[in-house]
């Protein structure tokens, strides 16, 4: 009987000691969870790739200086049920944060997003340059993806390039998005704007979707003024009907991949399929990515007989119905430019 009582007493002491150690460990873990990693307030952008395991995630965070004690950090994260549930992505962390705050951020999947605004009438190359700045894409990969026939077909693009179909808008991207996901997001927005009735309207006018988008891209490049777009559209439609060359300056510049409004003789003389000073009709594809105003203007030209326009050197244009009036407008513009 005494042996049994002694055994019971011993077990009670062991349990009490275990409970005391557990409480102590809990207090230590709580203290760890509420104490900043350090007092240097070091900011780190930590990328957690897709498919990495929990142990590797802890190692990545540790390497970034965001883990003071790997064992305690792991136990804290596990106590929150985070193993296998941490969202891949880029996290903006600060060493002044506590482990509790860091694990909470990881548990929420509070990844860093990049808000990217694609301006109207940017070219494919310009969009690539814009995305490269924030390391969202590799330029070579981006240009390869946007000319991949199979991928383009999956996006309902019947053309040799995604040029013209990357809708200018403001997007939220992350660095874990693939290039294809980024491109698809912009193309999906294009198809939200370009509705089936618009495609039908283009067909009724004798244009394929790609020709309609190509014309819209020329209109957008020629003028940023909404009020002028239908007039410019009318000039192009009228010239096409008469079999005249479109003679659009932006098409001459396009093959040079230059972002300039200054057209030189070398541009005009350049023999490319896009140079409408050399070819008749529309270029083989869009020369930029137009927004809704240009797309609508391509389908609804103004009811005018204009065949020419020249810049007023202030963003607007002077429109003419015959060559004599156009020559006079050009001379007036040239005199005005010399005075300036």
Residues 176 and 91 in one domain: no
Domain end position, chosen among 50, 79, 112:
112
In this structure, is residue 325 part of a structural domain? Answer: no
In this structure, is residue 338 part of a structural domain? Answer: no
Residues 189 and 209 in one domain: no
d(CA 164, CA 186): 11
Judge contact between 307 and 242, C-beta under 8 A: yes
Residues 256 and 291 in one domain: yes
CATH number, residue 87: 3.30.1490.480
**CA 220, 266, 247 angle in degrees (round to 5)?**
40
d(CA 262, CA 245): 20
pLDDT at 14: 59
Provide the number of structural domains found in the chain.
3
State the helix-helix crossing angle for 99-108 and 70-79, rounded to 10 degrees.
50
Q: What is the pLDDT of residues 19-71, one digit of tens each?
A: 555 565 555 656 777 888 888 888 989 999 888 899 999 999 999 999 988 88
Domain end position, chosen among 193, 211, 235:
193
Residues 185 and 252 in one domain: no
Residues 171 and 205 in one domain: no
Q: What is the pLDDT of residues 246-298, one digit of tens each?
A: 999 899 888 766 665 666 667 666 778 899 999 999 999 999 999 999 999 99
Residues 124 and 85 in one domain: no
Residue 291: strand pairing partners? none
Q: What is the pLDDT of residues 125-155, one digit of tens each?
A: 999 999 999 999 999 999 999 999 999 999 9
Judge contact between 309 and 317, C-beta under 8 A: yes
Residues 302 and 205 in one domain: yes
- Is the overall model pTM greater than 0.75, yes or no? yes
Cα 237 off chain centre by: 32
Q: Torsion angle of alpha carbons 14, 19, 23, 28, nearest 10°?
A: 40
Residues 183 and 126 in one domain: yes
Judge contact between 35 and 98, C-beta under 8 A: yes
Residues 298 and 220 in one domain: yes
Its domain, for residue 187, covers 114-193
In this structure, is residue 229 part of a structural domain? Answer: yes
Strands (E), the chain: 43-48, 89-94, 114-117, 170-173, 308-311, 317-320
Domain end position, chosen among 161, 193, 225:
193
48, 90, 217, 264 from 86: Cα distances, Å: 9, 12, 43, 55
Residues 176 and 201 in one domain: no
């Amino acid at each position: 009987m005494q042996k049994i009582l002694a055994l019971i007493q011993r077990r009670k002491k062991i349990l009490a000691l275990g409970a005391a150690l557990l409480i102590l460990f809990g207090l230590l873990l709580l203290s760890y969870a509420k104490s900043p990693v350090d007092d240097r307030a070091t900011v780190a952008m930590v990328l957690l790739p897709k498919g990495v395991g929990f142990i590797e995630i802890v190692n990545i965070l540790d390497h970034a200086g965001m883990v003071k004690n790997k064992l305690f950090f792991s136990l804290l994260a596990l106590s929150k049920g985070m193993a296998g549930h941490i969202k891949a992505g880029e996290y903006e962390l600060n060493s002044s944060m506590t482990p509790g705050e860091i694990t909470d951020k990881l548990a929420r999947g509070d990844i860093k997003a990049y808000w990217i605004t694609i301006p109207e009438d940017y070219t494919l190359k310009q969009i690539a340059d814009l995305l490269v700045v924030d390391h969202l894409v590799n330029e070579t990969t981006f240009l390869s993806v946007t000319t991949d026939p199979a991928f383009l077909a999956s996006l309902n693009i019947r053309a040799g390039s995604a040029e013209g179909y990357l809708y200018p808008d403001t997007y939220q991207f992350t660095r874990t998005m693939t290039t294809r996901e980024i491109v698809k997001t912009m193309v999906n927005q294009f198809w939200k704007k370009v509705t089936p009735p618009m495609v039908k309207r283009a067909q009724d006018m004798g244009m394929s979707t790609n020709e309609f988008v190509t014309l819209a891209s020329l209109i957008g490049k020629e003028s940023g003024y909404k009020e002028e777009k239908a007039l410019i559209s009318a000039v192009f439609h009228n010239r096409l009907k008469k079999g005249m060359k479109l003679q659009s300056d932006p098409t001459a510049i396009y093959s040079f991949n230059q972002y300039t409004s200054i057209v030189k003789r070398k541009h005009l003389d350049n023999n490319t399929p896009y140079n409408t000073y050399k070819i008749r009709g529309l270029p083989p594809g869009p020369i930029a990515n137009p927004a809704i105003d240009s797309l609508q203007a391509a389908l609804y030209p103004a009811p005018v007989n204009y065949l020419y326009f020249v810049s007023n050197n202030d963003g607007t244009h002077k429109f003419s119905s015959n060559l004599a009036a156009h020559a006079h407008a050009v001379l007036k513009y040239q005199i005005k430019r010399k005075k300036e």
